[in-house]
Structure 1
């Protein structure tokens, strides 16, 4: 992560998370090997680091799924770590021999503070796992408003991260076997290294779908296809007039029918909006209200229409259906088959067998 070129904010967050886990594991190892007599403060600090596991997970997912630029308010998520260590300020300021004795007697005289730290870790884990799940769920649900092909934007990597942390926090909550918990953390690190290297893009190039400068993109967060009445209510504060909506819609359909930008498999709402010289939010509103579809559905419907037009031409008989589908903008067989059946009611092979 450190040697990766063109590091994004998400890369720094993941690197910071890995360093925190490493320090936490190192502290546990030193405790097991009685090295607390040499580094009592370091080990004690390491035991508070699980408080940042949740924030690092949440912020990493947020940076990978949101175009918002980095904000210093993110640092507020680390206040619990600071507050927890301030509770033990008298420990850190105590003479070296006294700190060793506190360790030797398993935190004697700090029972209340230890309990506060423990429950803070419990609460932090639960809250941030829920926040992370919700952030990823919301993004995956709303991808269809921004992207025309979503097969390669599944973010399984992020989902696996959340699941792993959920498992670790489950062990923290339901077992008192510390070695089992740290064993699970160690396995998580090994998995993260293996899966991350296998992913390639995690350690070698920006993984975010927004590229290296997500803050330059206007991202539209809408719900999926909704009834027209709900769409009208949702956009009731929009500054677009009915005349403007009709004008944008007319230009949109003319662009789709004549220039066929949908044959670009990576076409996005932002790019289409730029072609029409309108804001992406306005274009999304027009598509939702006039077509009763989201961006993903409209573009793939046009791709199917283009596919049906092309296979009706005599010169197309020398090509396979899949190769024609790729020329129409699809980037996978699965996506093509799913959308074809959705818009025609039959599979491509069934269509081909028709007289």
Structure 2
């Protein structure tokens, strides 16, 4: 058996190595967190699926021991990605209550194990193929591919819906800027949809146009893309600090109904006036733990009513409203000599922000510049005005 490496094999091997390395790092450093364990398992499955192609490109399929080795994990990726999204957005996640999602994988894996055991009764490769054919190996793999596409569509939708529910709840009720928005994970789900799309195209090319026996390039592109997914998921997922949120999907139902609350103009404006008083005079936005519920209690209105007023009267979410006030406060203090003894981070923390990373991200998204750039711009304007004064 001759093993010959080429550029394609190297890309796949690097992707597999990356996945296995980060899976090990996640388990050793963050093994106590359910979300990190799920991410490690997801990377492991991605790596195994990527390695499957190496059995053929490196000639390992000609090894009697490796031929038909059971690697039927194709239906595992999308459920794992969905459960990973749940684990990141649900307090005290327990995998045990979600094991039913892996029932299809178990069925196909058991069939693959039976095929492997039966084919190990001989070292003759032709006889192995005949035994596998009698056990409907190729037909079952074809069904598995079809179900992989269907699984990608269903779980991709469920994952995006879960993340959208979380983000709706976050922007509607939480001002704490340390809460992650998981934009990167939404991108991962979208990118994984590309895996589903490429798999669909390849199935059509093989079944409809007979590419299986004549071409291999389309599958090489598929596995290169899969390796890229491993890199992105591994690096982005590992960089995220563990964070436990107090989100329940049921809470979004009330959020979705808040815009339908019936308030006349006078009631809405009265609540708006009380809210502006709380913001301008009581400066409630300086509280880093301020939430929609706590502010509603302070104003003696229901959270649903307050959210509806913010949406209709200010045209923005609760989170955006509070963070804009905090950024305005930071901008004022950066140009006020009274606060010159404080660092930029010190000013940010005193203005209601509770983490450096989230402060810089929010500040730049609202102003378009960094805090330091804004301070320098204001300093230049001040010097310019001073130089124009008559002596």
Q: TM-score range by the shorter chain?
A: 0.5 to 0.7
- Aligned-residue offset at 1:260: 4.0
CA distance in 1, matches of 2:256, 2:295: 19
- Aligned-residue offset at 1:195: 4.3
CA distance in 2, matches of 1:308, 1:172: 50
Q: Of the candidates 54, 57, 61, which is equivalent to residue 29 of structure 1? A: 54
| Counterpart mapping for 1:1-355 below 5 A | 1-5=26-30, 7-31=32-56, 32-34=59-61, 36-40=63-67, 43=69, 45-46=70-71, 48-67=72-91, 69-88=93-112, 90-94=114-118, 96-97=120-121, 101=126, 104=129, 107-109=132-134, 110=136, 111-148=138-175, 153-175=180-202, 176=206, 177=216, 178-196=219-237, 199=239, 201=240, 205-206=241-242, 208=243, 211=244, 214=245, 220-221=251-252, 230-231=260-261, 260-264=283-287, 266-269=288-291, 272=294, 284-288=303-307, 294-297=317-320, 299-300=322-323, 303=326, 326=348, 327-329=350-352, 331-332=359-360, 333-337=363-367
Unpaired runs of at least 5, structure 2: 1-25, 207-215, 264-269, 354-358, 369-377, 383-391
- Aligned-residue offset at 1:225: 8.3
CA distance in 1, matches of 2:345, 2:29: 36
RMSD: 4.7
- The answer (yes or no) to whether the contact 2:73–2:109 under 8 Å persists in 1 is no
Name which of structure 1's ranges 124-133 and 144-153 shifts more when overlaid on structure 2: 144-153
CA distance in 1, matches of 2:247, 2:164: 20
- The answer (yes or no) to whether the contact 1:225–1:288 under 8 Å persists in 2 is no
Q: Secondary structure at the match of 1:50?
A: coil
Q: Structure 1's 296 and 224: CA in aligned 2 closer, same or farther, altered over 3 A? A: farther
Normalised to the residue count of structure 1, the TM-score between the two structures is 0.66
Deviations along 1:176-195, one digit per CA (max 9) or x if unpaired, are 54333223222322344444
- Aligned-residue offset at 1:8: 1.3
Q: Structure 1's 141 and 105: CA in aligned 2 closer, same or farther, altered over 3 A? A: farther
Larger-gyration structure (1/2): 2
Q: Secondary structure at the match of 2:38?
A: helix
- The answer (yes or no) to whether the contact 2:292–2:303 under 8 Å persists in 1 is no
- Aligned-residue offset at 1:311: 10
Q: Structure 1's 268 and 173: CA in aligned 2 closer, same or farther, altered over 3 A? A: farther
- Aligned-residue offset at 1:60: 0.9
CA distance in 2, matches of 1:165, 1:311: 43
Q: Structure 1's 285 and 104: CA in aligned 2 closer, same or farther, altered over 3 A? A: same
Normalised to the residue count of structure 2, the TM-score between the two structures is 0.61
- Aligned-residue offset at 1:315: 6.8
Unpaired runs of at least 5, structure 1: 234-245, 339-347
Deviations along 1:285-334, one digit per CA (max 9) or x if unpaired, are 2522565575325534765886899899x9769799x9998443363433
